[in-house]
Chain A
């Protein structure tokens, strides 16, 4: 082709393309593009690169005053127009044009127009005007390119900054699943290709209605299948898999959220509180809520470790809620010289305090006023604090306050109105306060979202059994009459008792103050109180022992392992404890216990009581025989009484035992007591055939006079 014919070719082609472009623009709404032309339009993303480069090259060549500048101009203009035409056709492919496409279109038209003008008029224009034309051209091509990029990649494609750390919206306590979870996933991963400006597969995912409408293959959700889910669950290599394998993929939890939401009916109004706690989506959502809470704490002003260290003291602990967080937890404990200064010192970090605990402090209105400046306070605990209702009511509505613990205080119903105004409050604890149940009902009716805990009602039917009372003084053996009092850890107890060895019941006598013990008796008693189950019946035996021999001797010493205090323990009025290794006990095994006593004055003896202990496991058994001798002179004693304790037939737990050898009264000055430890342990016991131990801690001589 000759130079001339080429020039003609270019002229006419450019001319016709320009006219075509104008025609297309004018008659846009009447156009119906056939499919082949449609296909041609898809070459736009390829062809558009040529004008971009060629325009710049042409400008450079122009500046260099190249001789062949017209050649450059021709080819550039040709490509520009072809690009514009194909671009226009492409824009008609699909649904309505978004704003970005329209802007891009007109900018592109502008570029084409400028190129055409330059081509046809280049020789006629003055230098200055060409320069301004070129300036405009550069601006237009850059803008066109930029908007073109936005159409393809999304509006923020070029915006600088960490896109992964988008500022997450703080989730409300009861987020809507669609608005806060589903749509954000679409926004992040799908909408760049599925929006009004660029709708691949004719699917727009930027709003709920367009989601429902679906795309090319019809509505997304019909009875048969859900195309969206199907596509995202396909393996990544599959052609139909969405998002496309070279784009950012959906994470596991995102897939789970979408799947669950669709399964639950894909409702626009589904909220977090309506979710089943067992479902997988519940946990994901819960975690996101917690994360967002943490995220909202990341907006708090910074607190350095140095600041914290300075504020911590023996009675005030300030901690970060977790590593690196600017959210703080404060605990203030009671101290002797408490003053409001402790709270005032917190002012520098008052905006960071999320949790404040004031234990057992004397609070006044001043402290409450201070708290009003703690804007981010979410949890307040004033357990055990003394504060009047008036002072408490100085506390104003803190919009972040969700939890208030005021148990063990004296607050009454006067704070109910103030509490009702705290509309953000979710949990209130008023166990052991003066707030009545009508106050609670009142509060509940005013604030339906508020959980009020007064007491754990599950414990209402816990059985409450009183412990038995203790006796003071617990004198098992006494010489002179004395008064015994009943002691009990609780107040307002009725102590019922009997002295005749019969079990007491609810009709038995009540001890008014104390009881006089002046003779041998067995006291049985229990404690009772309204609202409590009565205690078990306990008993105690009191033995009067006022015949103490001034001189006595033991024929055989006790077993060397259990000598105890020696013979004096027999008349010291001290009861040995359950631990028979104690020095209040003495024991006999191989030898007999033979006690001879001499008195200064004659008295009438009618019984001897031996205080002992029985415990079969360590071989402590009743003696086989007890014999009592008495008389007026040592050489001439006659037997007064014999006692053979009954044999034990089976294992017995450890317990005290009293052996009472009673007989006809007899005047005596000398007494001899002989006790034979058990010779042969019965066969049911593992120590059968061996001797049994006899333990003794007291001997009591009963006299007629001394009853």
Chain B
């Protein structure tokens, strides 16, 4: 380092006068700094010192885990939780321009010259202490309406499935960001070291389906150990988890130990965190070989439980079976359990298809909430049910008096939540009588995410990860916690 020596010597050449004056100025500056940067001397220092430790909630949480029953394809809110009798009265009339207000249409209906209003073919009934209106397609959810909070004023910008589901799961319409479950795993860690923190279960109804992509449960730029694990319904719940024929568990143990040795050596040279993550994942997989089959084994469930969920719960791969699995996973400490049920994209043939879709999920969803309640888990488990956007109040295609379909409608839709610190037995937010615009308490997806994180004890602005030069968070640069939803 020869070139630096001269510079160094120059700098070290200092007389007493200069030394003392610089010292006093320096100390003064540091003192000023300690006034402006809190904890400059007590903690690690710098602005990052404010970031709370990972793996622990920032403040006392209300919910410790989330079960998200995602209805992929977008179920119609007008046939489920948003009762609009005006549409039945005005059946067949054109949608007034004043209501539509230039809302962007999808390519499927943009060429329609008429937008005939169509009301629900199925009736609505009032349930619960507040006389909440629930469609006849969901009578069991009607029975638990006093436990849930229906948010009718959700809205989003995305108008098609892929960006919309991506938005819901990752906080951005473009892919590449970590999903909700990964953020939770990153921020809160695992309660049970033998199961993944984030599990995904999928099922498919008979209705019109849209695809699901594994990017929806990917960990994005977070450590890959936070990614969602898809548990399949067949003989092998997790692909490639079981040892191949001829390898015993102790052999596997020895092999893993040796691999870990090699990986650790590599890590000490390269210091890539992904290596540590990989080692941890091997270990997790080893433990999962035992724990996953046990958790998935529903043979020990008492018959009364099967009755509650409906006998479909015995058929692996159905929504009901997934709900029962979700409860078992929640009992065993999994942080974020995501169910997907496809088939809700009723562009046509809605009365027929939606009734079948509803049959798939109605009883099982209600049973899940009640099952959690009787185990005392509903207070710290948040259950969410909803799709990626709503459906239009006008008919897609030519209006026929016996059958109809609805197009996508991002401007307003309904979801419900239960447990986990959410207010019980209320409806939040309102849409206008046409079921088109929101007139009260809009909740954007970012607000929804902020509220979820808040219920889990995380300040959504504090859970960040620095990537590509800036700090990302699930709510990106927006999101306000909706305090009125919180009990």
Contacts from A to B (Cβ < 8 Å) = 290, 294, 305, 313-315, 317, 319-325, 331, 333, 359, 383, 403, 405, 407, 427, 429, 431-432, 453-456, 458-459, 461-467, 489-490, 531-532, 535
Look across to chain B and name the residue whose beta carbon is closest to the beta carbon of A313: B193
**Chain B contact residues, majority secondary structure:** loop
18 A-B contacts (beta carbon < 8 Å)? A314-B193, A314-B194, A319-B56, A319-B191, A322-B60, A323-B52, A323-B58, A324-B52, A333-B193, A333-B333, A453-B374, A455-B304, A456-B371, A459-B308, A462-B307, A467-B314, A489-B315, A490-B314
- Min CB gap B141→A, angstroms: 11
Residues of chain B contacted by A456 (CB below 8 angstroms): 370-371, 373-374
Selected from A313, A383, A431, A461, the residue in CB contact (under 8 A) with B331 is A383
The CA of A429 and the CA of B455, in the complex, are separated in Å by: 24
Contact across chains for A321 and B60 when beta carbons are under 8 A apart: yes
Contact across chains for A323 and B59 when beta carbons are under 8 A apart: yes
The CA of A531 and the CA of B190, in the complex, are separated in Å by: 40
Q: Which of B288-344 contact A (CB under 8 A)?
A: 302-304, 306-308, 310-312, 314-315, 331-333
Contact across chains for A317 and B193 when beta carbons are under 8 A apart: yes
Contact across chains for A333 and B192 when beta carbons are under 8 A apart: yes
Residues of chain A contacted by B303 (CB below 8 angstroms): 490
Contact across chains for B287 and A314 when beta carbons are under 8 A apart: yes
The CA of A403 and the CA of B376, in the complex, are separated in Å by: 9
The CA of A453 and the CA of B193, in the complex, are separated in Å by: 30
Residues of chain B contacted by A359 (CB below 8 angstroms): 331-332
- Min CB gap A154→B, angstroms: 30
The CA of A429 and the CA of B311, in the complex, are separated in Å by: 25
- Known contacts A314-B194, A322-B56, A323-B58; A458 and B143 CB within 8 A of each other: yes
Interface residue B275 (Cβ < 8 Å from any Cβ of A): no
Look across to chain B and name the residue whose beta carbon is closest to the beta carbon of A492: B303
Interface residue B57 (Cβ < 8 Å from any Cβ of A): yes
- Min CB gap A459→B, angstroms: 5
The CA of A294 and the CA of B302, in the complex, are separated in Å by: 39
Selected from B144, B311, B373, the residue in CB contact (under 8 A) with A490 is B311
The CA of A315 and the CA of B333, in the complex, are separated in Å by: 11
- Known contacts A319-B56, A359-B331; A462 and B308 CB within 8 A of each other: yes
Selected from B57, B302, B310, B370, the residue in CB contact (under 8 A) with A464 is B310
The CA of A294 and the CA of B457, in the complex, are separated in Å by: 14
The CA of A467 and the CA of B363, in the complex, are separated in Å by: 15
The CA of A455 and the CA of B367, in the complex, are separated in Å by: 12
Contacts from B to A (Cβ < 8 Å) = 52-53, 55-61, 140, 143-144, 189-194, 287, 302-304, 306-308, 310-312, 314-315, 331-333, 363, 366-367, 370-371, 373-376, 457
Selected from B57, B308, B376, the residue in CB contact (under 8 A) with A429 is B376
Residues of chain A contacted by B304 (CB below 8 angstroms): 455
Residues of chain B contacted by A489 (CB below 8 angstroms): 311, 314-315
Residues of chain A contacted by B315 (CB below 8 angstroms): 467, 489
The winner among A294, A323, A359, A461 for most chain B CB atoms within 10 A is A323
Top 4 nearest A-B pairs by Cβ distance? A456-B370, A464-B307, A489-B314, A429-B376
- Min CB gap B78→A, angstroms: 26
Look across to chain B and name the residue whose beta carbon is closest to the beta carbon of A404: B376
Contact across chains for B144 and A458 when beta carbons are under 8 A apart: yes
The CA of A313 and the CA of B193, in the complex, are separated in Å by: 8
Residues of chain A contacted by B307 (CB below 8 angstroms): 462, 464, 531-532
Contact across chains for B371 and A405 when beta carbons are under 8 A apart: no
Contact across chains for A405 and B457 when beta carbons are under 8 A apart: no
The CA of A324 and the CA of B457, in the complex, are separated in Å by: 13
- Min CB gap A605→B, angstroms: 42
Residues of chain B contacted by A455 (CB below 8 angstroms): 304, 374
Residues of chain A contacted by B191 (CB below 8 angstroms): 317, 319, 331
Look across to chain A and name the residue whose beta carbon is closest to the beta carbon of B307: A464
Residues of chain B contacted by A427 (CB below 8 angstroms): 376
Residues of chain A contacted by B306 (CB below 8 angstroms): 464, 490
Residues of chain B contacted by A429 (CB below 8 angstroms): 374-376
Look across to chain A and name the residue whose beta carbon is closest to the beta carbon of B290: A336
Residues of chain A contacted by B363 (CB below 8 angstroms): 462-463
Contact across chains for B192 and A331 when beta carbons are under 8 A apart: yes
Residues of chain A contacted by B374 (CB below 8 angstroms): 407, 429, 431, 453-456
The CA of A429 and the CA of B312, in the complex, are separated in Å by: 27
